[in-house]
Amino acid sequence: MSHDPNCLFCKIASGQIPCQKVYEDEELLAFKDIRPAAPVHLLIIPKTHIVNLTEVDAAHEALLGRMLALAPQLARENGADNGFRVVINTGPDGGQEVYHLHLHVMGGPRPWKHG
């Protein structure tokens, strides 16, 4: 499993930095965003370090599928009963701030700011 010792999300995944965890298994970790853009704002990350979607290939299909399949379950469990959206920011022009692949799950009662 790849790990970047300077990566914020790698440090969270390894337990060096605490988070408000909502899900964890051998491959994935999900936690509440510290700067939520919606009433429900979760991040799903792979525990292995992948910079962003530009680095994925066919070998990552199962991992990406698991991330997407987990999103509706966590959205419901955290109160986004009436809908949610998923976002993956990629690169500087895509709005990526932390260079470790992550899936935003955002929902809850509107109005909420766009993020």
pLDDT of the chain, 115 residues: tens digit per residue: 688 999 999 999 999 999 999 999 999 999 999 999 999 999 999 999 999 999 999 999 999 999 999 999 999 999 999 999 999 999 999 999 999 999 999 999 877 766 5
Let me know if residue 89 belongs to a domain.
Answer: yes
CATH number of the domain where residue 38 is located: 3.30.428.10
Strand order in the sheet with 103-107: 21-24, 28-32, 40-46, 103-107, 84-87
This prediction's pTM: 0.94
pLDDT recorded at residue 89: 98
Let me know if residue 1 belongs to a domain.
Answer: no
| Structure-token match 């700011």, residue found | 113
- Residue ranges making up the domain that contains 68: 8-107
Give the total number of structural domains in the chain: 1
Positions marked active-site: 102
CA–CA gap between residue 98 and residue 76 (Å, rounded): 25
